Amino acid sequence: MSDLTQGSTAFRSHDDLGEARRTVPGYRLGDPALPPSPVTLEELELLKKTLLLTEEDVRYLRMAGAVMQPQIEAILDVWYGFVGAHPHLIRYFSNKADGTPNADYLARVRARFGQWIVDTTNADYDQAWLDYQHEIGLRHTRAAKNRTDDAPSVDQVNFRYLIAFIVPISATVEPFLAQGQHSPDDVRKMHAAWTKSVVLQTILWSYPYVRDGEF
């Protein structure tokens, strides 16, 4: 599966989102043309409270970002290795016609996934961030999967795996966080903050899967 684990994108800081939009295929954080999220900033604040996501977590996410940034390709290797090792997961990146993995689609998503690590550690939970979360959610559903990358793949990512991915996306970063020069307590707090952010984003990505009026 070595073809799944290549990547050479230069990921961009949040001071340079315009450049990220030029270099990362299909990347749209901060694009003023994105439609507004159906979730309000007030609802987002209540979700953050429910998730115990505080200003301290935001600080630990920034710390995590500094530790993770130089390791992004290695982290993506782990995630792509995990997906590639499971037929029930790689199918979402495969050609609908014959079930073979689509290398171009995998590469384009990989570049966004790398930038997503940067974004997760830098998020400021404003309207632009909220709007892009909704766009990311849509890209997993029948409404918009494949469209961004013109990929001839299956029609949707089944909802259950969207939520299930909270666990591998959270568990697998811990050894990478431990590679920084921080105390075990700081590693624990970076990891907890990362997990909260992943759960928060997963909730927002779920919106288009949920029946009208039940979100």
Which residues lie near its own copies (CB under 8 A)?
A: 43, 46-47, 49-53, 86, 88-89, 141-142, 156, 158-161, 163-168, 171, 192, 195-196, 199-200, 202-203, 206, 209-211, 214-215
Which residue's CB is nearer to its own copies, number 139 or number 196?
196
CB of 189 to its own copies, least distance (A): 12
Which residue's CB is nearer to its own copies, number 15 or number 88?
88
- Expressed in angstroms, the distance from the first to the final Cα of the chain is 38
CB of 4 to its own copies, least distance (A): 17
**Three-state secondary-structure class, residue 151:** coil
Q: Which amino acid is at 178?
A: A
CB of 197 to its own copies, least distance (A): 10
Which residue's CB is nearer to its own copies, number 125 or number 159?
159
CB of 129 to its own copies, least distance (A): 16
CB of 40 to its own copies, least distance (A): 12
Contact 141, 147 (CB under 8 A): no
Q: What is the DSSP letter of 51?
A: T
CA–CA separation, 25 and 79 (whole Å) = 19
Which residue's CB is nearer to its own copies, number 9 or number 195?
195
Which residue's CB is nearer to its own copies, number 13 or number 50?
50
Q: Which amino acid is at 45?
A: E
Q: Which amino acid is at 111?
A: A
Provide CB contacts within 8 A for 142, sequence distance 6+.
155, 156
Torsion of CA 92, 32, 126, 47, to 10 degrees: -40
